Amino acid sequence: MTVKELTELIGAKDMTPDAPKDAEVTCGYTCDLLSWVMAHGASGMAWVTVQTHMNVIAVASLMEMAAVIIPEGIEMEAPSLQKAQDEEINVLQSDKTAYEICALLAQAGLPGKKREA
Amino acid sequence: MAILLERSFPVAAGAYTTAGEASTTIKRTLKQLGVNTEVLRHVSVACYEVELNLVIHSLGGTLTLLVDPEKVTLISKDVGPGIPDIEKAMTEGFSTANEEARTLGFGAGMGLPNMKRNATGFDIQSEMGVGTTITMTFALA
């Protein structure tokens, strides 16, 4: 699934038009504890979080994620969005809850993160 | 071993908004050197964790990147306050992060164990009132 397809699937608003829409989404994940995401994130991940500060983009960028999805119509701060554009990280905003977004991703066949041994 | 590249980055205590800038620059530098994706990911994660630790826990410090033909080395050296019990600090789930860090979603006590997991070699030395030095190596082959 590409980021473009993901955006259409969950009916999200694309907050970073300059980020690559053909990037491949490999798995889905939701967590708001950044420390936890640093230990469990993966490249190509679509990460659902209510956190909107700059460090979210730093984590997504360093882990080479495909997209950050902000649920429930929450607005991401402008400096974070600017950083996302600079780092070419897709940020999608959705009115749906994290639960509803993950359910849609799962229904579309997107796996969860592979568990490492 | 001949050093191909050496760069240092100062990291200020409490600089939450700029946390990750040194790590992003280091990642970019290594990418330009042609370091493979897998190694790059391990360095990036460990580097960001150690940079965050400098921001959250230290009184300020320096992050140094060294590259030689066989490995990437990251050295985090701070000016205090030091870690009273390293064994405890290395335990997953143990954290002394403040309220500000926790509000941002940090302080789950995953940092040091996550660094050790991602690095090929990991060493931590700390003295109260002097500072902490963390040395991590990442094999290139």
Q: In whole angstroms, what separates CA B75 from the centre of its chain?
A: 7
pLDDT in tens, A9-22: 999 999 999 999 99
Domains of chain A by range and CATH? 3-107 (3.40.1390.20)
pLDDT of B57 > 80? The answer is: yes
- For chain B, the structural domain boundaries read 5-139
Chain A contact set for B106 (CB, 8 A): 34-35, 55
- Mean pLDDT on B11-29: 95
pLDDT at A116 over 70: no
**What's the first-to-final CA gap in chain A, in angstroms?**
26
Question: Tell me, which fold does domain B5-139 have in CATH?
Answer: Heat Shock Protein 90 (3.30.565)
**Does B25 lie at the interface with A, CB-CB under 8 angstroms?**
no
Determine the 3-state secondary structure of B61 from DSSP. Answer: strand
Closest residue in B to A52 (Cα) is B104
Compute the average pLDDT of residues A21-29: 97
Interface predicted TM-score (ipTM) of this complex, two decimals: 0.87
B97 pLDDT above the threshold of 70: yes
Task: Flag if A34 and B105 touch (Cβ within 8 Å).
Answer: yes
Q: What string of DSSP letters covers B99-128?
A: HHHHHTT--SS-HHHHHHHH-SEEEEEEET
Phi first, then psi: give them for residue B132, nearest 5 degrees: -125, 135
Please give the model's pTM, rounded to 2 decimal places: 0.92
| CB neighbourhood size of A78 (10 A) | 8
pLDDT on residue A115: 65
Among chain B residues, CA nearest to A31: B105
Is there a contact between A35 and B105 if contact means CB atoms under 8 Å apart?
Answer: yes
Using the Cβ of A53 and the Cβ atoms of chain B, whether some distance falls under 8 Å is answered with yes
Q: B109-126: per-residue pLDDT in tens?
A: 999 999 999 999 999 999
